Every structure is written in C-alpha cells, then in structure tokens.
C-alpha cells in the first residue's frame, strides 16, 4: 500500500487531502488503485518511485471528488442535484475518472456506465487507468448480501493474568504499521485486539496482506488475534472481513473475553456505518440482536468488571461523531449512548478507534474512562487535526465537552503525528493501561501515560 496523500512540495495540503475517506465508492477506488500499483505494475520494470507516482496519479480523482462533495455540503447544497467541474484535474483520464466517481456517488448508473466505457477506450498518459476501473468494478460486483452473523455467543476464556495489546485503524500494510506492531511485540503481550479498519476497503487482498500476514510474520503463526468491524472493513461488502475472522478463529464480529474478574465486550459498530456524502446521517448503531447480547453479558457478569471495545467513538470534542439532517453535528453518538447509558457506571474502560488520534479522556457522560486509540498506522498531517475542542458541536449536556489528559497527546515529527498503541494488563482484580507512542519512522517507543 502506498501513502497517496499529496505532499507540500507539490501542493498546499488541506484537510481534504486525506489518506483515506469514509466513503465506500472512494475507498473501493483507492483499493483498486493500490492493487494496480502493487500487483499489476509490480512485475513491470522501472524504479519504485515511478510506481509510486502512478498509484498517486490513479488516486488523484479521489481527493478531487471528496473536496467537491465537501464544498457543496458546506454551502448547503446537495450532491444529487448539483453538477461539478473537474477541469482543474490534470490529465484527461483523471478528469474522466473523477467524473465516473462522481456519477457513482450520485448513484447515476447510466452516466457511470457511459464514462466507464469511455475510460476503457481512452489512451492515457499514465498507465493503469483501465486496470484500475476494471478492479474497482470487480470489487463493487463482489458486494453481496450483508454477511453479519446475528445471534452468536462468542465467549472466550482468558487467563486471570493477561497482557492485551490494543491497536486501532492499523491495517495499512505500510512500514509504520509494521514498526508499531514490532513495538507491540516487544511488550510481550498475550493477545492483540484490533479496533477495526483494514484499508482501503477491506478487500481479501488487503485482509491478507495488510493484516493477517503481517501479524503472523511479526507476532507468530499461533498468536491470538481479534479484530473488530470498522467501516472500511465493510466497504467491499464484508465477506473478506468475515473470512479473516474464520482464519483467526473469532467467527463473529462481536465477542466476549472473560476471566474470573474481568470481561471484555467487543461490539460491531462498523456493520451499520453509512456513507456520509450520500445519506442524511452517518450516526452508526448496533444490530438489535447484538444489543440484547451485550445486556445479557452485563446481567451475567457475576461481579466481573467490564471493558467495552468498539470501532466507533462514543464521543469526541475534536470533530463530529455524526450528524442528523446535515444540520446538527454531534459530539457524541446518541444511539450508542442510549444502549449503554444504564450500565456505564459498571464500565471501567471503553476503548475505541475510528478517529485517527490518541485521546485519554476524563470522566464524561457517566463513562469513567473513554479512550480513543485510532492512531496506530494512518498517516495524519499536523494541519489535518488538532487537540482543540470544536465548540460548534452538539453535546449531550449543552456546553459540556469531554476533557483529556494532555500528557497523552501525540507528538509529531514536524509534519506527521506519531502513532500509538495501548497495553491493557489484567492481574486478578487489578488492571493497568499504558499508552505507547512511536514515531512514523520507527524510533524506539515512548511511554506516555500509565493508569
């Protein structure tokens, strides 16, 4: 996988030039472009820099389309009724690809088919456009029925003394992800929990190459692995994600790890994540049958302390968790809060990812310890996010935003934020969580906070 973001020497960077997007159409195209670069073009002669250039070129329409959609939404317009101009996109095939993606986002099949035919027949200055389109259409065709496995009861016994590493949004397959996993290994954990998202769209190749093979190479073939369902894991349909679960012996996208004193309840918030560019809300929720399963685990806890795990966040002061009717941007998720509000006093920690940062929150909305650990591999520029409260967000109690431990804020190398992981150590009735920071270049990890 290649970091497809544009660099400052090429163009001024903005918050739209992200590494990945919360849109299935754009993510599928990113997966296709990366496949072309790593598989189709790998056998071709030429320098690695040339291959990277091709993949970035194939991904350029993604950034353009996302910015156009964000511009319309910010102006109160709707993408289904508005046309856009891609004349600023360099290259005829790049313009065609952007127009194709725009038609796909708008669900305009007739226009998308017309542009796809034209793109297939075009002679382009950069190789791979037709191959990228073909692979995108292949991924799209593989999206079938929702593979969610309801009414499962996955309960796994763990030792009373156990060290569990927690990483989030880790599945990029790039060197920073490998560096971080090696740092995880050096802490000698007994198991690894991934909070979800294998990029770009959770295809089979990505599940195998960006998650499983690296975990097996670094941690060993028999090392216990668990993976939650993130939104990107569902963008290619979810079949590859569930195939991964079968390979690691997990079987369902939610599960319970239990010993004599603790239970870790992992939920599936990725199954119902939506496309924020084409629907009225991207506020995720749980499957109804899964809600009952979690409540039953609380009812039968028999004195055990509980740790919750999810891909999506319960709250965030930094950016919108979701919105209703494109008007109110929320700093919390009412759907998840309504499910767990009655049992939050019994929750010792809730670890989540999705937002590509590290945040060790103070008590908020009845939750003792909310922890965002979505910062394990995704490259994030300094100007893409900051540890600053967005006062425009709607909060549960008006004007009350979560606060956080500033000692756990991520550092940076001047351009990119560092990455991090958490280590949860259970020892009888006691527990300790530590947070480790590691620069993208792979220097020695630094201990940030112990709690």
pLDDT tens figures, 241-280: 999 999 999 999 999 999 999 999 999 999 998 776 776 6
- Whether residue 82 has pLDDT greater than 50: yes
pLDDT of residue 282: 82
Q: How many CB atoms lie within 10 A of CB 325?
A: 7
Looking at domain 155-450, its CATH architecture is 4-Layer Sandwich (3.60)
pLDDT tens for 278-292 read 766 789 999 999 999
Which is higher by pLDDT, 14 or 325?
Answer: 325
| Cα torsion 345, 348, 352, 356: sign | positive
pTM of the predicted model as reported, rounded to 2 decimal places: 0.93
- Whether residue 11 has pLDDT greater than 50: no
pLDDT of residue 89: 82
Q: Is the peptide bond before 200 cis (omega within 30 degrees of 0)?
A: yes
What H or E segment, with its residue span, contains residue 335? helix 334-340
364, 315 Cβ separation under 8 angstroms: yes
pLDDT tens for 127-137 read 789 999 999 99
pLDDT of residue 157: 98
- Whether residue 238 has pLDDT greater than 50: yes
pLDDT band at 44 (very low <50, low <70, confident <90, very high): low
Map out the domains of the chain as residue ranges.
24-141, 155-450
What is the signed CA dihedral for 255, 258, 264, 266, rounded to 10 degrees? Answer: 0
pLDDT tens for 294-303 read 999 999 999 9
Structure tokens at 66: 């996302």
**DSSP string of 53-111, one letter each residue:** HHHHHHHHHHHHHHHHHHHHHHTT--TTT-----TTSSSHHHHHHHHHHHHHHTT-HHH
Give me the residue label for tokens 């456009």.
129
pLDDT band at 73 (very low <50, low <70, confident <90, very high): confident
Radius of gyration of the chain, Cα coordinates, nearest whole angstrom: 21
pLDDT tens for 120-163 read 998 887 778 999 999 999 999 999 899 999 999 999 999 999 99
Structure tokens at 359: 């945040």
Contacts of residue 178, defined as CB under 8 A and 6 or more positions apart, other chains included, come to 214, 218
């Amino acid at each position: 996988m290649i970091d497809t973001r544009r660099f400052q020497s090429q163009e001024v960077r903005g918050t739209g030039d992200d590494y990945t997007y919360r849109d299935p159409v754009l993510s599928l195209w990113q997966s296709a472009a990366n496949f072309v670069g790593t598989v189709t073009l790998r056998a071709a002669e030429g320098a690695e820099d040339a291959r990277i250039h091709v993949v970035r070129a194939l991904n350029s329409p993604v950034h353009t389309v996302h910015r156009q959609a964000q511009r319309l939404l910010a102006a109160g317009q709707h993408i289904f009724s508005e046309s856009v101009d891609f004349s600023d996109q360099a290259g005829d095939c790049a313009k065609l690809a952007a127009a194709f993606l725009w038609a796909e986002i708008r669900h305009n099949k007739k226009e998308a088919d017309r542009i796809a035919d034209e793109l297939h027949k075009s002679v382009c200055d950069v190789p791979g456009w037709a191959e990228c389109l073909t692979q995108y259409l292949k991924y799209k065709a593989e999206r079938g029925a929702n593979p969610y496995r309801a009414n499962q009861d996955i309960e796994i016994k763990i030792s009373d003394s156990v060290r569990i590493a927690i990483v989030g949004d880790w599945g990029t397959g790039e060197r920073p992800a490998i560096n971080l996993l090696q740092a995880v290994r050096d802490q000698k954990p007994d198991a690894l929990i991934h909070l979800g998202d294998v990029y770009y769209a959770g295809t089979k190749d990505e599940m195998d190459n960006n998650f499983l093979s690296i975990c097996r190479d670094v941690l060993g073939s028999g090392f216990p692995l668990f993976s939650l369902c993130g939104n990107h894991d569902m963008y290619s349909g979810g079949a590859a994600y569930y195939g991964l679960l079968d390979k690691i012996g997990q079987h369902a996208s939610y599960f319970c790890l239990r010993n004599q004193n603790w239970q870790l309840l992992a939920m599936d918030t990725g199954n119902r994540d939506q496309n924020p560019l084409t629907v009225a809300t991207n506020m995720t929720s749980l499957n109804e049958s899964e809600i009952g399963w979690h409540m039953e685990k609380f009812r039968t806890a028999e004195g055990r302390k509980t740790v919750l795990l999810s891909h999506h966040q319960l709250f965030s002061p930094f950016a919108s968790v979701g919105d209703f009717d494109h008007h109110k941007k929320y700093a919390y998720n009412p759907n998840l809060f309504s499910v767990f509000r009655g049992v939050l006093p019994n929750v010792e920690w809730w670890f989540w990812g999705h937002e590509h940062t590290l945040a060790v929150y103070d008590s908020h909305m009845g939750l003792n310890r909310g922890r965002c650990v979505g910062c394990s591999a995704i490259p994030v520029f300094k100007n893409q996010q900051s540890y600053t409260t967005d006062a425009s967000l709607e909060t549960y109690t008006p004007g009350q935003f979560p606060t956080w431990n500033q000692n756990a804020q991520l550092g940076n190398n001047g351009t990119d934020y560092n990455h991090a992981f958490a280590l949860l150590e259970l020892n009888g009735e006691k527990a300790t969580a530590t947070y480790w920071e590691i620069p993208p270049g792979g220097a020695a990890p630094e201990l940030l906070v112990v709690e």
